[in-house]
């Protein structure tokens, strides 16, 4: 008998910032952020040369939620973010609370965010509301691109979303 982790459980634990009764293991996003910052970054730096001030985070669904959560709560960790089908409606839209805190801090470093959702998803109206809300902030330090990918479902957002997202954040 060996260690057989459950990837879905680990994703929920590491990517979701808040606890919820339906997924009791979730709520470890801050611990995961700390792990990336204090273990992963130094490990990578010990092997490779990289620009510590130019880092990109690319993720989908719960990972997309974590990407945007990281942008708004730990804005110094990365400066380029691609969030495909981010689960931003998690926990009754708690995401907006984090964005509000980010907005209140006028000294956030410059960043780029590209987010997308599949056009056949029922979450398109919520996504468009999120896009409008972020754009209405007129952030001077945050460039945002938002895309609804026509004729695309949830599974299709990774490939095209990552491609379009990387093109934007490195433009």
> CA–CA distance from 99 to each of 15, 19, 69, 88, 149 (Å)?
17, 18, 8, 11, 24
* pLDDT score at 1: 61
Q: Is 165 exposed, middle or buried (0-12, 13-18, 19+ CB in 10 A)?
A: buried
* pLDDT score at 74: 96
Contact 103, 130 (CB under 8 A): no
Contact 113, 68 (CB under 8 A): yes
> CA–CA distance from 162 to each of 57, 98, 123, 146 (Å)?
10, 24, 19, 12
Contact 74, 50 (CB under 8 A): no
Across-strand partners of 111?
Answer: 142
pTM: 0.92
* pLDDT score at 99: 95
- Kindly give the confidence (pLDDT) of every residue in the chain, 171 residues in length, as a single tens digit, with 9 standing for 90 and above: 667 778 888 888 999 999 877 778 899 999 999 999 999 999 999 999 989 899 999 999 999 999 999 999 999 999 999 999 999 888 888 889 999 999 999 899 999 999 999 988 888 999 999 999 999 999 999 999 999 998 888 888 899 999 999 999 999
| Cα gap 45→53, rounded to integer Å | 12
Contact 149, 123 (CB under 8 A): no
For 113, other C-beta atoms within 10 Å of its C-beta total 25
Helix H segments across the chain?
Answer: 7-15, 29-35, 41-47, 62-73, 90-93, 95-104, 124-135, 157-169
């Amino acid at each position: 008998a060996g260690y057989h982790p459950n990837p879905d459980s680990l994703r929920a634990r590491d990517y979701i910032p808040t606890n919820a009764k339906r997924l009791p293991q979730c709520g470890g996003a801050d611990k995961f952020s700390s792990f990336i910052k204090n273990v992963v970054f130094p490990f990578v730096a010990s092997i490779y040369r990289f620009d510590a001030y130019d880092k990109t985070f690319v993720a989908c669904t719960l990972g997309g939620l974590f990407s945007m959560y990281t942008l708004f709560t730990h804005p110094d960790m990365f400066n380029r973010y691609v969030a495909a089908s981010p689960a931003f409606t998690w926990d009754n839209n708690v995401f907006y609370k984090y964005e509000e805190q980010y907005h209140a801090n006028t000294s956030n470093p410059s960043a780029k965010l590209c987010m997308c959702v599949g056009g056949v998803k029922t979450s398109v109206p919520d996504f468009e509301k999120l896009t409008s809300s972020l754009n209405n902030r007129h952030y001077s330090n945050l460039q945002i691109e938002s895309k609804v990918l026509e004729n695309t479902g949830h599974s299709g957002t990774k490939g095209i979303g990552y491609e379009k997202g990387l093109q934007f954040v490195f433009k």
